[in-house]
Every structure is written in structure tokens, then in C-alpha cells.
């Protein structure tokens, strides 16, 4: 068996009852409870990967989807299509003959995962995903990080197999993305694991038209020199419209403390309230504001960061994230 096949089979062994006998086959399939099935490794387990798997017309009676950790959207898509699935957190939904498994699993906490990505590496990744050439000179100009930070960040991404390097040396030497889908997913996973470092403040608003109202508030922030950029569903509604009913709004403000967020809210006549529909956040990277763009009168965060924030906002948000990916990659 190959590495992914061995890993997938190990996942099945972990989630099936102790009495269930698994007999590996030479073709990567396994015999479980008298039924031969093939564990199919789905990369990281995101919704887009699940959809591509489902589009390949597998037989749900002969294939079980396996991944490190399936997202909520991926689980729903697989279950709706009657496919069994299991992941390395111990979560599973499988029905094979007399064997029926339904387990919720236990995801690893962010502290259990190696946080080798830094804010600088995230910023450099955002710049590259937005089209900035993967050179020291170009990423330094886009992010205003130091030469050393850009050099080390590009080397890290190359070591991770996300970029490939040319034979040239120096700040102008070029690298290129090995696989854009894999690069985006690796960045998104790292950014999500580090997202707890961002400070947030919820504010009470009663906006009927969130885009128009946020644009108006944004002009007031502009007038007093407060940098801002929309993210999440409200940003996606202008970058790649899919969800039409925007009920909550997320905005990154150019600040670093809760006191600065409160002050920025106060300057435009807004006040903090638990459960408010407007969430103000400190930016996780320097590129949030440096690479922000205008769309339909709204200043929005770089699309890769919007992608990350959508993925963290439930099944509807994950669906919007995949739509945003397709809009930017032309899939």
C-alpha cells in the first residue's frame, strides 16, 4: 500500500468497533464485515475536496472517504450523497453491512498543532496569492516587512513544498507556486489555527443594508484616519456574491488593542454590546490593510483572508468560501 492508503486504513481501524475484522487487499481496498471497500484519502477534508470527490462518480457502497479532519460542510455533503466517511479526529459515519458507526470525534486544539507559520509568513502568503511575485523584493514592497523576514518566509514556503525556487539568487530571484489549491489550503489552515490571536469587539447595529451602511461608517473612519477593511460574508457579497442575506458584518480595523477598537467604534457613534451584529477585529497580518481593495464602495480585505474568515463562519460560510475560490481561480 502507498502512504495515503496505509494512513486511510489506519483511520478505519481506529473508528470501527474492536470486533470488526479488517483484511487489507493488494489493490488498496479492505474487507470489512464481509464487504470490500476502498478508503479514499481526500487531502485536508475541506468542502471543495469533498465536492471534487463526489463529482468523480464513485460508488458509495464501495468507497469510504477519509481525511485528517473533515469540515462541517464536507461532512454534510458526503452524508447527503450517502457516502461513509471517517477522519483522524475519530469522527465517522459508516454503514457497512452489520457494522454501523456514528462518532463525533475529538478535534485537536490549536495548542496541539505545531504553529510553525508566523504572522510574517501569512502576510507573505496573502501577497503571493493576490498576485505579488514570489521574490524578496516584491514581497517586501507589498508587505513592508524586513528583507530578512521576506527571505525567511519565502524559504519556509519553499521548504514546505508550496513554492519552487529558481537557480537565481538575491532579492530579485523568482519562485513560483507549485500548486495553487494546495498553497491556498495550507495558508488557510495555518491562518485559522492562529486566528485566536486577533482581538474582537462586537457592536450593536440595526442595518437593513449592511454594505451601504458599512460604506457610510467607513467614510467616517476615513475622515478621522482609522484604517478599515471588511471581511467575511459582507466582503464576499461584493467580491463573489452567493449569500444574499447578510445578517452579520466583520471588519478589520487598523488597531492592536481592545481599547483602540472601542475608541474607533466611539468615533462613529457605535457602542460595544454582547452579541452585536457588527464585529470589529484587530488585523492578523500587515497585508490586511496594505492589500485591501475597493469593491462596490466597500473596502475589503485581501480575498485569501476573506476566504479564511468565511471558512470559520459555518456551513453557509464554507460554501461561500468555495465560491470565492472559484471566482479567483476560474475553476
Chunked into runs of 10 residues, the chain (331 residues) has average pLDDT values of 68 73 70 80 86 87 88 89 87 78 68 65 95 92 90 89 70 77 91 83 88 92 93 88 77 92 92 87 93 90 93 79 78 39
Same structural domain for residues 29 and 61? yes
Of the residues 103, 133, 168, the one at which a domain ends: 103
Assess whether 227 and 303 both reside in one domain: yes
Backbone angles phi, psi at 5, to 5 degrees: -65, -45
C-alpha distances out from residue 185 to 61, 206, 270, Å: 29, 35, 36
Q: Within this chain, do residues 210 and 315 fall inside the same structural domain, yes or no?
A: yes
Helix/strand number for the chain, H first, E second = 13, 15
Q: Same domain for 59 and 16?
A: yes
Element housing 229 (H / E): strand 228-231
Residue at a domain's end among 194, 210, 238: 194
Q: Could you tell me the strand order of the sheet in which 99-103 lies? A: 22-24, 30-32, 35-41, 63-67, 84-87, 92-96, 99-103
* Domain identity same for 144 and 232: no
Instruction: Report the C-alpha gap between 158 and 254 in whole angstroms.
Output: 30
Burial class (CB in 10 A: 0-12, 13-18, 19+), 233: buried
Range of the domain at 94: 3-103
Total domain count for the chain? 3
In a domain, 137, yes or no: yes
Q: Does one domain contain both 267 and 285? A: yes
Same domain, 324 and 202: yes
Give the integer Cα–Cα distance in Å for 322 and 206: 29
Per-residue model confidence (pLDDT) at position 19: 61
- CA dist list (Å): 253 to 200, 224, 248: 10, 13, 16
Domain presence at residue 289: yes
Residues 78, 19 share a domain: yes
131 occurs within a structural domain: yes
pLDDT at 128 (0 to 100):
96
CATH assignment at residue 129: 1.10.10.10
The CB-based long-range contact list for 308-312 (8 Å cut-off, 24+ gap) reads 308/187, 308/188, 308/191, 308/192, 308/195, 309/231, 309/232, 309/235, 309/250, 310/232, 310/233, 310/236, 311/46, 311/71, 311/188, 311/192, 312/192, 312/195
Whether residue 103 contacts residue 14, with contact meaning beta carbons closer than 8 Å, is answered with: no
Residue 283 · residue 251 · CB < 8 Å: no
Cβ distance 53 to 40 under 8 Å? yes
- The CATH number of the domain holding residue 214 is 3.30.460.40
User: Do 288 and 301 meet the contact criterion of CB atoms below 8 Å apart?
Assistant: yes
Residues 144 and 211 in one domain: no
Residue 127 belongs to a domain: yes
Task: Say yes or no: 220 and 317 in one domain.
Answer: yes
* Domain's final residue, options 178, 194, 210: 194
Calpha distance 45→232 (Å, rounded): 21
pLDDT of residue 250: 92
Answer whether residue 15 is part of any domain: yes
- Per-residue pLDDT, 323: 85
User: Given the DSSP bridges, would you call strands 200-203 and 278-281 parallel, antiparallel or unpaired?
Assistant: antiparallel
Q: Which residues lie closer than 8 Å to 161 by C-beta, 6 or more apart? A: 178
Residue 64, C-beta contacts closer than 8 angstroms, at least 6 positions apart? 12, 37, 38, 39, 40, 83, 84, 85, 86, 94
Same domain, 224 and 256: yes
Residues 234 and 124 in one domain: no
For residue 108, tell me if it sits in a domain. no
Amino acid at each position: 500500500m502507498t502512504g495515503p492508503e496505509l494512513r486511510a486504513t489506519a483511520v478505519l481501524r481506529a473508528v470501527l468497533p474492536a470486533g470488526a475484522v479488517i483484511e487489507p487487499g493488494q489493490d488498496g481496498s479492505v474487507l470489512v464485515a464481509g464487504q470490500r471497500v476502498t478508503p479514499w484519502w481526500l487531502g485536508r477534508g475541506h468542502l471543495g475536496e469533498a465536492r471534487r470527490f463526489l463529482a468523480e462518480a464513485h460508488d458509495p457502497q464501495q468507497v469510504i472517504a477519509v481525511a485528517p479532519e473533515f469540515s462541517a460542510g464536507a461532512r454534510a455533503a458526503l452524508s447527503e450523497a450517502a457516502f461513509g466517511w471517517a477522519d483522524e479526529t475519530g469522527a465517522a459515519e459508516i454503514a457497512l453491512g452489520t457494522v454501523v458507526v456514528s462518532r463525533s470525534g475529538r478535534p485537536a486544539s490549536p495548542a496541539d498543532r505545531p504553529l510553525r507559520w508566523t504572522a510574517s509568513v501569512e502576510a507573505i502568503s496573502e501577497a503571493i496569492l493576490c498576485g505579488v511575485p514570489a521574490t524578496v523584493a516584491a514581497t517586501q514592497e507589498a508587505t513592508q516587512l524586513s528583507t530578512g523576514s521576506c527571505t525567511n518566509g519565502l524559504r519556509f514556503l519553499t521548504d514546505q513544498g508550496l513554492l519552487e525556487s529558481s537557480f537565481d539568487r538575491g532579492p530579485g530571484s523568482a519562485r513560483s507556486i507549485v500548486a495553487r489549491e494546495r498553497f491556498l489550503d495550507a495558508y488557510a489552515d495555518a491562518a485559522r489555527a492562529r486566528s485566536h490571536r486577533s482581538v474582537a469587539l462586537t457592536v450593536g447595529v440595526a442595518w437593513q443594508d449592511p454594505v451601504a451602511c458599512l460604506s457610510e461608517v467607513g467614510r467616517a473612519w476615513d475622515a478621522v484616519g482609522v484604517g478599515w477593511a471588511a471581511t467575511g460574508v459582507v466582503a464576499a457579497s461584493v467580491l463573489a456574491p452567493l449569500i444574499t442575506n447578510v445578517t452579520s458584518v466583520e471588519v478589520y480595523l487598523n488597531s492592536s488593542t481592545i481599547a483602540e477598537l472601542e475608541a474607533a467604534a466611539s468615533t462613529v457613534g457605535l457602542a460595544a454590546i454582547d452579541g452585536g451584529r457588527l464585529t470589529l477585529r484587530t488585523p492578523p497580518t500587515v497585508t490586511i490593510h496594505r492589500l485591501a481593495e475597493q469593491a462596490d464602495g466597500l473596502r475589503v480585505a485581501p480575498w485569501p483572508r476573506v476566504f479564511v474568515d468565511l471558512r470559520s463562519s459555518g456551513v453557509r460560510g464554507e460554501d461561500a468560501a468555495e465560491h470565492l475560490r472559484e471566482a479567483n481561480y476560474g475553476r
